[in-house]
Amino acid sequence: MAGFKTRELALIARPIGLPKDSDIELRERILEEPGPGQLIVRNRYVSLDPAIRDWMSENKSYLPPIPLGDPVRSTSVGEVVASNSSRFAVGDRVWAGGGWAEYSTCHENSTFAVVSGAGLPLHNHLSVVGPNGMTAYYGLLKIGQPKPGETVLVSAAAGAVGSLVGQIAKIKGCRAVGLAGSEEKCRWLTEELGFDAAINYKTSGDLVAAIADACPDGVDIFFDNVGGDILDAALLNLAKYARICFCGRISGLNADEPVPGPWNMWQILAKCARIEGFLVSEYFNDFPNSVPEMAGWVKEGRIQFKEQIVDGLENTLPAFLTLFDGTNTGKLMVRVAD
Amino acid sequence: MAGFKTRELALIARPIGLPKDSDIELRERILEEPGPGQLIVRNRYVSLDPAIRDWMSENKSYLPPIPLGDPVRSTSVGEVVASNSSRFAVGDRVWAGGGWAEYSTCHENSTFAVVSGAGLPLHNHLSVVGPNGMTAYYGLLKIGQPKPGETVLVSAAAGAVGSLVGQIAKIKGCRAVGLAGSEEKCRWLTEELGFDAAINYKTSGDLVAAIADACPDGVDIFFDNVGGDILDAALLNLAKYARICFCGRISGLNADEPVPGPWNMWQILAKCARIEGFLVSEYFNDFPNSVPEMAGWVKEGRIQFKEQIVDGLENTLPAFLTLFDGTNTGKLMVRVAD
């Protein structure tokens, strides 16, 4: 085999605060032949997610830190171009822990076949039927266990996950209330996506009272992508037996010092509520059972979603930073190859 | 009816920090005849619990604050001496939300028959087979769902609830590890009660490391009576799919300012763990199904427990304060009448 030449973005320094150009290096490299259980994936789209910022630091996380010198870790979709695995053949369409790179060496254990028959374009497998979209699906349905008539509150509601959570909540007969950071995002939630109410947390003043107004019967399910102050305000509005799907903590990701956790944890006791942590990776092997339903909702027009596709590996870092300054809407990804 | 003359301890000022003599008044009063659904209970034992401190303040809690001028709210066991309820007759032995008083007017909705046939003395229905003991039973078994071989960590392990949690964990085939505040308490846990290990959190130094040493496979179930720093240290030792039974927050009860919640909440996400709030009142109606099993363990010698019975209503407040200075061991109650 001739070896695949890749261009890749390597992490060369641990960022302090937001990552900057000097933390990341664009370089070329010839990939070694895949070892046992490995395969080489030609990435077509790579995913940009807030969690990647977490993996760039030395903090303990649910995945080990990205080793300095390695390509930045991210999910990608593409085709297998070389395989030393009995589970994947050259030509298979897969999503994998590829990284910010044109070609990536992946292990079969963290590579999954794109669910065939979904009838959606490949890049949708990084968004609405990819790990992001299915985070909304499994988090709401498995952790939240929504019942018709219940109130579902979602933080980062205009984001790639939150916007789907609210729409699935509506399909399940719930009242959907979103928290977002601009009037434009709030209008999009209520006027386009069918949320019952949206709260601009930047202008709402007393957030506890604003949530109480929008959720007069209390919050039965809080789908939390944020943590911090927003979690605290939601805690003071829980209905009895509330469920909190604890899905992200974007508020603490770029902080240089630890961010204190919620101050109102006692509400969990008072309301006999439940907080459950959630990693969609627990459900990867179940995707063939659930992606067709989600894809069906998309094709019926019951689920809308936004993708923001940036062209060219060299534009990855500036695009990544828009996840943290509030300018991104929709699932962000980079098209590496057509 | 002649009316029952009671002596009672009324809350006359909201305590700042620990309650003091000037917050509580011993007074005599003639009780009015019970209204519809009400009954009068002659208290024999009244319960002293950390949660009572919470109800003395104006903070929101799972029960409303005790109104100023009312007797201090607490659980009691005794006999019905007058009834305007179809559910209770004079002479019935009950436990109720009686209060620190010789006689209390109670509502049928917060009064429960002492489970007959348990074969244990009446005061045990405030301890091992009362709300405290059954908090251990339901919290561990329903929220924790222990499986043989799992590790159960308990905070305030020498307390009335924690000491039972560890013993039930052992009955269920788990490894039981307790956190307590003195060498004497730790020895009691390991030498008398059969805990596998006990950690003196006052002398252990790095508590995260001490828990890791005592729980080499991680903590599958954390039964938390404390919150605060101890919860944070436990969070950093969770095993995957850990369950936290969030049962109390004694660490924040006497604080004049809000105590920040856990700093390590992200571990809930990383470990796909669950925190569930728990009030034993949710299970009061199920006691007839569970008290006989608990009573059976007591009579077989598989469960040990301590009671600390103080005589005389006038000694209630000094006894109550021992709950907060670490000198109390075992379920604390006051004998009001023989």
**Is B272–A269 a contact, with Cβ atoms under 8 angstroms apart?**
no
d(CA B76, CA B9): 14
Superfamily grouping for domain B5-127+306-335: Medium-chain alcohol dehydrogenases, catalytic domain (3.90.180.10)
User: Angle formed by the axes of helices B131-138 and B162-171, to 10°?
Assistant: 40
Q: What φ, ψ does residue A97 adopt, rounded to 5°?
A: -85, 65
Whether the predicted pLDDT of A48 surpasses 90: yes
- Confidence band for A19, pLDDT divided at 50, 70 and 90: very high
Of A249, A274, A279, the CB nearest to B276: A274
Q: Does A222 touch chain B (CB under 8 A)?
A: no
> Tokens representing B258?
């809000």
Whether the predicted pLDDT of A249 surpasses 90: no
Q: Does A266 touch chain B (CB under 8 A)?
A: yes
What are the tens digits of pLDDT across the range A158-173? 888 999 999 999 999 9
> Closest Cα partner for A259 from A281, A230, A298, A296?
A230
Q: What is the pLDDT of residue B38?
A: 97
d(CA A264, CA A273): 12
Per-residue burial over A326-335, b if 16 or more Cβ lie within 10 Å, else e, is eebbebbbbb
A261: DSSP letter: B
Q: Is there a contact between B223 and B247 (Cβ–Cβ < 8 Å)?
A: yes
> Closest Cα partner for A168 from A188, A150, A181?
A150
Query: What percentage of chain A exceeds 70 in pLDDT?
Result: 93
CA distances from residue B229 to A235, A246, B47, B206, B234 in whole angstroms, order as listed: 20, 21, 28, 11, 9
**Is A248–B258 a contact, with Cβ atoms under 8 angstroms apart?**
no
Q: What is the pLDDT of residue B200?
A: 97
**Is B270–A277 a contact, with Cβ atoms under 8 angstroms apart?**
yes
Q: What is the pLDDT of residue A192?
A: 96
Q: Is there a contact between A19 and A317 (Cβ–Cβ < 8 Å)?
A: yes
> Tokens representing B222?
């954390």
Q: Does A241 touch chain B (CB under 8 A)?
A: no
Per-residue burial over A7-42, b if 16 or more Cβ lie within 10 Å, else e, is bbbbbeeeeeeebeeebbeeeebebeebeebbbbbb
Q: Range with the lowest mean pLDDT among A35-49, A238-252, B166-180?
A: A238-252
Of B247, B268, B277, the CB nearest to A273: B277
Q: What is the pLDDT of residue B249?
A: 54
Task: Identify the residue among B275, B281, B283 best suited for mutation to test binding to A, counting A beta carbons within 10 A and taking the highest.
Answer: B275
d(CA A185, CA B221): 41
User: Which chain B residues are closer than 8 Å to A265 by Cβ?
Assistant: 227, 246, 249, 261-262
Beta strands in A116-169 (DSSP E): 151-154
> Closest Cα partner for B14 from B58, B61, B73, B64?
B58
Q: What is the pLDDT of residue A251?
A: 46
CA distances from residue B205 to B146, B199, B210, B217 in whole angstroms, order as listed: 29, 10, 8, 21
For range A292-299, the mean pLDDT = 96
Q: Does A247 touch chain B (CB under 8 A)?
A: yes
Q: Cβ–Cβ contacts within 10 Å for residue A212, how many? A: 15
d(CA B39, CA B104): 8
**pTM surpassing 0.95?**
no
d(CA B8, CA B25): 8
Q: What is the pLDDT of residue B278?
A: 85
Q: What are the percentages of helix, strand and coil residues in chain A, rounded to 5?
A: 30, 25, 40
The secondary structure element, H or E, covering residue A270 is helix A266-270
Q: Does B227 touch chain A (CB under 8 A)?
A: yes
**How does the average pLDDT of chain A come out, rounded?**
91
d(CA A157, CA A250): 13
Q: What is the ipTM of this complex?
A: 0.76
Q: What is the pLDDT of residue A254?
A: 44
Side-chain half-sphere of B314: how many Cα atoms within 13 Å? 2
**Is B276–A275 a contact, with Cβ atoms under 8 angstroms apart?**
yes
Q: Range with the lowest mean pLDDT among A117-121, A295-299, B102-106, B333-337?
A: A117-121
Residue type, B51: A
Domain at B131-280, CATH class: alpha beta
User: Which chain B residues are closer than 8 Å to A263 by Cβ?
Assistant: 258-261
Q: What is the pLDDT of residue B251?
A: 46
**Is A247–B269 a contact, with Cβ atoms under 8 angstroms apart?**
yes
d(CA A110, CA A281): 9
**Is B227–A276 a contact, with Cβ atoms under 8 angstroms apart?**
no
Q: What φ, ψ does residue B199 adopt, rounded to 5°?
A: -115, 125
- Classify residue A62 by burial, with Cβ atoms within 10 Å: 0-12, 13-18, 19+: middle
Distant-in-sequence, close-in-space partners of A332: CB < 8 Å, separation ≥ 6? A47, A48, A49, A160, A308, A310, A319, A320, A322, A323
Whether B5-127+306-335 shares its CATH topology with B131-280 is answered no
Q: Does B269 touch chain A (CB under 8 A)?
A: yes
CB within 8 Å of chain A, chain B residues 148-187: none
Q: What is the pLDDT of residue A226?
A: 81
d(CA A178, CA A199): 6
Q: What is the pLDDT of residue A63?
A: 80
Query: What is the DSSP pairing of strand B151-154 with strand B175-180?
Result: parallel
Digit-by-digit pLDDT tens for chain B (338 residues) are 567 999 999 999 999 999 999 999 999 999 999 999 999 999 999 999 888 998 999 876 668 899 999 999 999 999 999 999 999 999 999 999 889 999 999 999 999 999 887 889 999 999 999 988 999 999 999 999 999 999 999 999 988 899 999 999 999 999 999 999 999 999 999 999 999 999 999 999 999 999 999 999 999 999 998 887 888 899 999 999 999 998 865 544 444 444 556 667 778 888 888 999 988 888 999 999 999 999 999 999 999 998 999 999 999 999 999 988 877 777 899 999 87
Chain B residue whose CA is closest to A251: B266
Q: Is there a contact between A202 and A190 (Cβ–Cβ < 8 Å)?
A: no
**Is B269–A263 a contact, with Cβ atoms under 8 angstroms apart?**
no
Per-residue burial over B180-189, b if 16 or more Cβ lie within 10 Å, else e, is bbbeebbebb
User: Which chain B residues are closer than 8 Å to A267 by Cβ?
Assistant: 277
Q: What is the pLDDT of residue B228?
A: 79
Query: What percentage of chain A exceeds 90 in pLDDT?
Result: 75
> Tokens representing A98?
């590829």
The position carrying tokens 């509005």 is A237
- Confidence band for A265, pLDDT divided at 50, 70 and 90: confident
Chain A residue whose CA is closest to B274: A276
> Closest Cα partner for A216 from A196, A244, A241?
A196
Whether the predicted pLDDT of A257 surpasses 80: no
Task: Identify the residue among A272, A278, A281, A282 best suited for mutation to test binding to B, counting B beta carbons within 10 A and taking the highest.
Answer: A272
Cα of A67 to nearest chain B Cα, Å:
19
Distant-in-sequence, close-in-space partners of B257: CB < 8 Å, separation ≥ 6? none
Side-chain half-sphere of A59: how many Cα atoms within 13 Å? 24
Structural domain spans, chain B: 5-127+306-335, 131-280
